[in-house]
């Protein structure tokens, strides 16, 4: 993947960058692996706004991605590498030897024509999926399960990968991109390698309209609201108010630790990300 820049024929074009999509090999998705995607605008079944800043955006069709990688022992050949509007990573279409077709997350280094396989007996090769107990320590993995058989939940966005540090007592220690070390049951599945589209975080949108195309609505500062709408709102004219920064629901917004030690800091975390950054 390469980053494309533009001549500044408008002010917004001056700072805008985009992916060049040179790694894609198909411009039409596999019809049998598509599903309807309904926009909610951030509202629940009663019409109440539950998530702010959702709405509008280009129409999308959902691609059904295989996060479980449970087709053990059946080799598959990479047929295409495609764009997915529902995630930051690229996806690739796999044609399995028994005739089935599935989408998987595209790992860095995988090309059209390469062969992948899943299962405990799979080779230690990028794109192959194995239980963590069968992966040697030191390797990088993505699409990691947290509950065996549920499907990958971690390391699924563009450019992410976790390093397998150690295995002990039925758990594997994974070093996250944040530096945090987490425990995951060693019979959970993981895919070897790094998720593709590694330069995604360097893209600059350049104008507000590109965010609207993605379905992101504007954000209004709390200080610009009325007191009835936000803890930092109100006052005569423009004012700071002097209060600690807070969310609309009065939760402290800067420096306040919201993690529940009982739920998260027990067996799941070996080394906290805050300590990792200080080290």
pLDDT digits (tens, 9 = 90+) for 220-266: 999 999 999 999 999 988 888 788 999 999 999 998 887 776 665 44
Give the closest residue to 268 by CA, choosing from 183, 178, 211.
183
- Beta strand 115-116 with 269-271 is unpaired
The rounded mean pLDDT for the chain is 92
User: What CATH number does residue 45 fall under?
Assistant: 2.40.50.140
Mean pLDDT across the stretch 207-214? 96
Query: Is 248 domain-assigned?
Result: no
pLDDT number for residue 279: 42
pLDDT digits (tens, 9 = 90+) for 22-63: 999 999 999 999 999 999 999 999 999 999 999 999 999 999
pLDDT of 176 above 50: yes
pLDDT number for residue 278: 45
pLDDT number for residue 242: 84
Question: Containing domain of residue 151, as a range?
Answer: 3-201+259-278
CA atoms within 13 A on the CB side of 20: 8
pLDDT of 273 above 70: no
Query: Is 172 domain-assigned?
Result: yes
Tally of domains within the chain: 1
pLDDT digits (tens, 9 = 90+) for 111-165: 999 999 999 999 999 999 999 999 999 999 999 999 999 999 999 999 999 999 9
Mean pLDDT across the stretch 68-81? 97
Query: Is 127 domain-assigned?
Result: yes
Identify whether the C-beta of residue 200 lies closer than 8 Å to the C-beta of residue 88: yes
Which comes out higher in pLDDT, residue 249 or 1? 249
Query: Is 14 domain-assigned?
Result: yes
pLDDT digits (tens, 9 = 90+) for 90-122: 999 999 999 999 999 999 999 999 999 999 999
Q: Could you tell me the sign of the dihedral formed by the alpha carbons of 29, 30, 33, 36, in that order?
A: positive
What are the tokens at 92? 């690739």
pTM over 0.75: yes
pLDDT of 275 above 80: no
Q: How confident is the model at residue 215 (pLDDT cuts 50, 70, 90)?
A: very high
Query: Is 231 domain-assigned?
Result: no
Query: Is 253 domain-assigned?
Result: no
Query: Is 244 domain-assigned?
Result: no
In the 3-class helix/strand/coil scheme, how is 248-273 assigned residue by residue? CCCCECCCCCCCCHHHHCCCCEEECH
Query: Is 170 domain-assigned?
Result: yes
């Amino acid at each position: 993947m390469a980053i494309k820049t533009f001549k500044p024929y408008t002010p917004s074009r001056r700072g805008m960058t985009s992916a060049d999509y040179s790694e894609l090999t198909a411009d039409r998705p596999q019809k049998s692996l598509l599903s309807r995607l309904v926009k909610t605008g951030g509202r629940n079944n009663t019409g109440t706004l539950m998530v702010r800043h959702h709405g509008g955006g280009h129409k999308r069709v959902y691609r059904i991605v295989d996060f479980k990688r449970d087709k053990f022992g059946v080799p598959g050949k990479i047929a295409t590498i495609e764009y997915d509007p529902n995630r930051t990573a690229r996806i690739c279409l796999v044609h399995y030897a028994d005739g089935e077709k599935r989408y998987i997350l595209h790992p860095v280094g995988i090309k059209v024509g390469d062969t992948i396989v899943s299962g405990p007996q799979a080779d230690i090769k990028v794109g192959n999926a194995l239980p963590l107990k069968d992966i040697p320590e030191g390797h990088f993995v993505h699409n990691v399960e947290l509950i065996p058989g549920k499907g990958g939940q971690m390391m699924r966005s563009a450019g992410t990968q976790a390093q397998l540090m150690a295995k002990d007592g039925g758990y594997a220690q994974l070093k996250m991109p944040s530096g945090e070390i987490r425990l995951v049951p060693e019979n959970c599945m993981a895919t070897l390698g790094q998720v593709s589209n590694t330069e995604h975080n360097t893209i600059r949108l350049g104008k507000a309209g590109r965010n609207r195309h993605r379905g992101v609505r504007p954000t209004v500062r709390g200080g610009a609201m009325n007191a009835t709408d936000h803890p930092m709102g109100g006052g005569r004219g423009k004012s700071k108010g002097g209060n600690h920064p807070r969310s609309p629901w009065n939760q402290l917004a800067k420096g306040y630790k919201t993690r529940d030690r009982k739920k998260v800091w027990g067996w799941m975390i070996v080394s906290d990300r805050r300590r990792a950054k200080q080290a």
